[in-house]
Structure 1
């Protein structure tokens, strides 16, 4: 025993940063419970020394913050540095690739594949042993201290398992919240157990029939002695709700009313499942653990507040950005499995008389899915690279785009699979049917893509509106600014004629083979800038209610950002000589060609206005249907004479 301790100490002193490590070790040892047995004490010290000797110093110096990339696109401003697709350092790649390969091999083992619940202790223990719980936690807490890019690489591998949602929710909305926002006392009490696989967390945010956040029914009131909070309410659709013993609950603690505007103040609590007043009812979803959890006068110690009272919005805005990225990683894993199974199925169904995989019908769909998958990967890791590379980088829009684009592309893949597989996919046990059910959760759980699209458009227009305030004011009051309007008519003549001047020279920052694709991207940026000005000038502050046009401009910014990711990645791959990089160039060009057509069509509808498009017709039709409260048109066989 003594010789083993000496050996570990020698290893520790060989580590270059041994002095700093020993100082940090004091904190680690102080946070553990007291050990009575001498034997257990020595074992504990040995384990701590082993942890210290395996610590790898990670040099990650972020660059100064840059202006938000996606938001600036609404102004026609393009940061060409983003075209230099971000990449990990060589030592990071050498570390993460074998680790991810080991995790991938683990997830394919029979005892892991056959597990269908996160409550299985052996399953969680395996995840803990491979350090896949607490990916961004410090190494001294037995975490991997991953960057956002590295953690999404692991989540992509873990998402190959059918418990992908349970794993991601426990990691991204449980461990991540505690690692980044909990105080030392809460980390000591709860975090270690989750990372060791002894506990499971769940995130309690959603409520049934919640039209807006001000109507949240889960509320917490401080007791008279200021020592506990009294929690009442019910949370719905809680992933891991049936097996989790640690509940992270978002509750309203104050409602401020100013000038008829209600401003809710939210607080995050960590609640023990065994606390009096906590109950749950299981939601029947077959393939994922969900529950509705109720709180009836549940007492929560004041020490269990995560972060600060009434400041949960800061935590949620930060954590949801990374959670949206994890949805992208899961969708990539699902789409890749769908594509691989479809390709194998087409090959197996082909024979000498019917070479099915050579038909245009099959080739066209497979190529489209391959292009979408490439774009999904590109946009996810471009966004994680921006977050990792720059200090406090504003990637709010970028993260939302990743979630929207990846989930919609994954839905397209699942629908394509159902169409190509045919009748066998009717069976609930068929792989195509299972994947289709999986993707529906990413489309609707916590936030729908429709609402996220509108939010993306509004955030971009709000950012642009501040910069263009004076210009928009003059456009909306032409009689007071005659000379300005005349100059604008001349300078905007090419935009009005759908022939913008391409002067951004984006091709200078890409491989010459992508010159045509770079012009497609530049055209889209210019059209987005013009559409932004048209919308703000036409509607002013009322643009927040023009949801049809908001969806159109959101689709424009999504396509432009994904085009940027594809071109940057393909150019980098070709320049450094990656295998199949010539196909990357082909795929990137193909995606940009299709994206340009989509942007062109959307901007045309925005510029033409509601009276040329079908918008007004649709509004009138829907208004009549809501008046009737049902489909109101007569049957085609009806007669009135």
Structure 2
């Protein structure tokens, strides 16, 4: 445990700043072993840095534009064939009704290269980067989410581990199979006892005496492509020996498992609310002999492998669902333009206009997030995990809202199967659950950002041990806090946005500055116990999500203005409206997070929930009982 004792900064020209006691022993901090001086690994993530009241604009300003002319042309050459496939070959309604995708449809997808979009050409793939991949995901999302799961489970997570962690030999052996030989892949992590808690898995792999293979036993549930995949990325507990202490510990290891190894079976396809066209099944492993060379990554690094696979693919969900929202808006707009009620077309009514505007705002922000992240990844960034989590939450919740509102605009027609929206709504429900439930991801966002902020506070404490050598850091932090105390603000976005958007950037600045102050207050108030304050963490996460939506849309619409694009003024209106709404929500959530009065409400929530659980449901007197 370390503590930041009460320290009074040297007086600056404004006034002195006082730090209180702080304890964050649970935070994992980076140290420089070559120096006694404490150091923190710098992070280029815009969102990570606002947790410590710092503006690092590199990833969001200017709006990234990484595709070369050749890449843009090659992507455009794929868009036509993909759109024709969905208009002429695929039948989403029929696949949904039958609960599976026809083999002819799947064969046509293989011929398109849709199952190997990001595999390098030398292994049989198309070699697309993340941004190109995201653009095609939009087309899939606009047409068939059930089929999209089959495609995504195969490449976004199924064999993604081989792309990220595979040895040259593993890539040479497996990537051609999953690219050109019609061999499906799956990602097998979830178990009956471990949903969001991936570290609690019970499947076990035991190393043979000759150390040539592992023997795997266990089962996995709800595995997309589980009934059709012949190659799987599987995670299991393995026993490792600590080389320093000799102590034996269980740690998760990732394996590449072939069905041909023997002992791999699966249950029947699950009956689901939506994405019925995709195959979801339980998978069983009984004495499966896995060659030692099929370890993916390092022994004991399975949890890291799993999380990085999921983090790496999350932007694709945002791109996919932005396409879904586009389609819903098109259907709703067509109806509003043609349907006449009470002597007027629906488009003339304010309530319908509000719905269409709100739907468009959410689609614009979702798309802006997805392609900001993908282009940062294509630029080589490794610091995008907070943004990817935000994108997944925002996209999945916005798409549900947009589809629901599209149904509302169509009225009774929207409720009918023929309109196609009821299938989309059913398909959308899973997106708030899989690849990290939104509830867990909100905690991930808040705690990851707080950890980074806490690391820098410890750096500051270390600096005070030798103040003469660290005056620059000390006065920089003191000035930043002093400036925010008197309303000078801790960040400036005005130079990064178009002049027309500067008043709106100012609203975002105020949110960012108050956000950073509040994180620090909460760290000081709760110390390491902040990890237990989930009501507060959710408020911080929601504020962070709104802040990111403001920043990416301001950046993207500024780009449109600078390039004089025909859509520029419309994009500006979308951004302005979003900023007004998001800044109000963010300020409310930030203020509530530090409010003592809110604690009274959360205590009531806890008491109510405990009673409901104790009574196994609703606990109140019946209205006609005496």
TM-score under structure 1 length normalisation = 0.81
CA contact (8 A) 1:104 1:157 kept: yes
Is the counterpart of residue 530 in structure 1 residue 517 in structure 2? yes
Q: Which residue of 2 aligns with 1:169?
A: 153
SS at 1:226's partner residue? coil
RMSD: 2.9
SS at 2:355's partner residue? helix
Q: 2:296 aligns with which of 301, 306, 311?
A: 306
Is the counterpart of residue 411 in structure 1 residue 400 in structure 2? yes
Structure 2 distance, partners of 1:314, 1:97, is 35
Q: 2:127 aligns with which of 129, 145, 158?
A: 145
Unaligned runs of 5+ in 1: 1-64, 475-487
Q: Which residue of 2 aligns with 1:20?
A: none
Higher Cα Rg: structure 1 or 2?
Answer: 1
Superposed, 1:54-453 pairs within 5 Å as 67-81=44-58, 82-87=60-65, 88-110=67-89, 116=95, 120-162=102-144, 163-210=147-194, 212-254=197-239, 264-282=250-268, 283-285=270-272, 286-350=276-340, 353-389=343-379, 391-427=380-416, 430-453=419-442
Q: Deviations over 1:206-240 (max 9, x none)?
A: 11232633431211111222222211111000111
Cα 1:263/1:537, change in 2 over 3 Å: farther
Q: 2:562 aligns with which of 545, 551, 575?
A: 575
Structure 2 distance, partners of 1:637, 1:491, is 62
CA contact (8 A) 1:115 1:123 kept: no
Cα 1:633/1:176, change in 2 over 3 Å: same
Query: How far 1:99 sits from its partner (Å)?
Result: 2.2
Query: How far 1:348 sits from its partner (Å)?
Result: 3.2
Query: How far 1:262 sits from its partner (Å)?
Result: 11
CA contact (8 A) 1:216 1:252 kept: yes
Structure 2 distance, partners of 1:600, 1:248, is 43
Cα 1:294/1:373, change in 2 over 3 Å: same
Runs of 4+ in 1 over 4 A off after TM superposition: 111-115, 117-121, 255-259, 261-264, 424-430, 470-474, 488-496, 610-613
Cα 1:69/1:358, change in 2 over 3 Å: same
Equivalences, count:
558
Q: Deviations over 1:358-387 (max 9, x none)?
A: 101111011000000000011111111222
CA contact (8 A) 2:316 2:370 kept: no
Structure 2 distance, partners of 1:490, 1:271, is 56
Q: Which residue of 2 aligns with 1:559?
A: 546
Structure 1 distance, partners of 2:121, 2:224, is 28
Query: How far 1:246 sits from its partner (Å)?
Result: 1.9
Structure 2 distance, partners of 1:263, 1:626, is 35
SS at 2:257's partner residue? strand
Is the counterpart of residue 502 in structure 1 residue 489 in structure 2? yes
Q: Which has the higher contact order (CA 8 A, sep 6+)?
A: 2
Structure 2 distance, partners of 1:69, 1:491, is 18
Structure 2 distance, partners of 1:613, 1:506, is 36
Query: How far 1:136 sits from its partner (Å)?
Result: 2.2
CA contact (8 A) 1:506 1:522 kept: yes
SS at 1:614's partner residue? helix
CA contact (8 A) 1:281 1:291 kept: yes
Query: How far 1:332 sits from its partner (Å)?
Result: 1.1
Cα 1:147/1:66, change in 2 over 3 Å: farther
